[in-house]
Amino acid sequence: MFKHFTHQDELKNLSSNAEDKIQPVLREIDERVEANQYRVLQAFHQNRISDYHFTPSTGYGYDDDGRDTLEKLYADVFGGEAGLVRPQIVSGTHAIATALFGVLRPGDELLYITGAPYDTLEEIVGKRGSGNGSLKDFNIGYQDIPLSNGAVDYDAVKAAITDQTKVIGIQRSKGYANRPSFTIDEIREMIEFIKSIKEDVIVFVDNCYGEFVEELEPCHVGADLIAGSLIKNPGAGIVKTGGYLVGRENLIELCGYRLTSPGIGREVGASLYSLQEMYQGIFLAPHTVGQAVKGAVYSSALLEAAGFDTTPHWNSKRTDLIQSVQFNDRERMVAFCQAIQSASPVNAHVRPEPAYMPGYEDDVIMAAGTFIQGASLELSADGPLRPPYVAYVQGGLTFEHVKISVLRAVDELLIKGLITV
């Protein structure tokens, strides 16, 4: 493979050293994959999954046993009482909005304790935009508590909780923030602290990018409601659209009313031809997520050797797919993302350029030559163009593809004289 790179000797040496160093970490990832695969397989057996569950429904989708059983399967896998898994949920942001609008009412307050959430949630809560149907428009309060040195500021959280605080929001993944992602153990600690202050508060966790990276999920440690996207981890790169919510039965019922309408809820919603890939996706997800996490570990080790600051470090505990790389320079960040695009299986000939993207305040560059548009479990590299110019490398259906892509990116930076090794 290395003969295809301009700086083949330098890259071969960097890669060999990185792979030797990360072998113990890769073995640990394999063990987690096995544990998660067993849990998923057990859920398939408990729900007696059969090929008739793949039968499509049309129209209203009444009595769609495949859809209803899939939702029970998700609940079992993710540790909740019930699930809502639908192709009608168009993204992770939509799943989160369904959760928040489903359980919050005028006069309530949403409190995010992990700092400001994704840029795409700012218009949902009402931090940006007006009159667009945000929580603010419905007289639902919102505030977020800034992190203190990358950790939850528990004193500030305690002071901020009031009688109106109905939902506590936790974002598991760093998203586009330059802070650590939160592990399941850390989320457990947050939940125990919150419940000790206000037992009846609803703890909502945005689980995007985190599914199957650890052996437990947020509902296993006390979260009341979680949400995510099927074109991220649980879809294994084969599910074309959709999202999920898992949690307490009464909360999922409310979310169902929000997704469709009051009085109808989860009883309707045609599955069309999505069921087989959704079942197969969650079955394959532990393995595919493992491949992506291995790719992230390799990327971190290689890019650190090439002189970049990466978060998390190659030997850090991981709880999501996100691997951030700090370039401190616009040109290097753009060149890196363009090289990742050139190594994609789809649209490799396309040259991404920074541009406006709905929901984001800054121009964003996005390398994403994916089989499914926007699929974050497939390899991508993107980020907003703002100092310190951090790109977020995520996903990868195979470890080998991640390895080739990152090597090509480093080779391209060497060719352009933007780095030396």
- pLDDT tens-digit profile of 373-390? 989 999 999 999 999 999
Cα distance between the two ends of the chain: 20
For tokens 């598991």, what's the residue? 172
For residues 184 and 319, the answer to whether their CB atoms sit within 8 Å is yes
Angular region, 412: left φ>0, alpha ψ -120 to 50, beta rest: alpha
Query: What pLDDT is recorded for position 231?
Result: 97
Mean pLDDT value of segment 317-330: 95
**Residue 242 has which token pair?**
């959709």
Q: b/e string for 73-90 if b means 16 or more Cβ within 10 A?
A: bbbbbbbbbbbbbbbbbe
pLDDT of residue 179: 83
**Interval 192-225: pLDDT, tens:** 999 999 999 999 999 999 999 999 999 999 999 9
C-alpha 188, offset from chain centre: 19
Backbone angles phi, psi at 38, to 5 degrees: -65, -45
pLDDT of residue 46: 98
Structure tokens at 197: 């202050």
| pTM, entire model | 0.95
198: phi then psi, degrees, rounded to nearest 5: -145, 100
Among the ranges given (124-128, 251-255, 374-378), the one the predictor scored with the smallest mean pLDDT: 124-128
Tokens 């993302």, located at residue: 337
Q: Tell me what the pLDDT averaged over the chain comes to.
A: 96
Name the DSSP class of 265: G
**What is the tens place of the pLDDT at every residue in 334-364?**
999 999 999 999 999 999 999 988 767 789 9
Distance between CA atoms of residues 43 and 142, nearest Å: 37
The C-alpha atoms of residue 117 and residue 185 are separated, in whole angstroms, by 20
Indicate the SS3 state at residue 224. coil
pLDDT tens digits, 74-106:
999 999 999 999 999 999 999 999 999 999 999
Could you read off the pLDDT of 156-201 as tens digits, one per residue? Answer: 999 999 999 999 999 999 877 778 899 999 999 999 999 999 999 9
pLDDT value of position 359:
63
Closest CA to 167 of 192, 148, 149, 141: 141
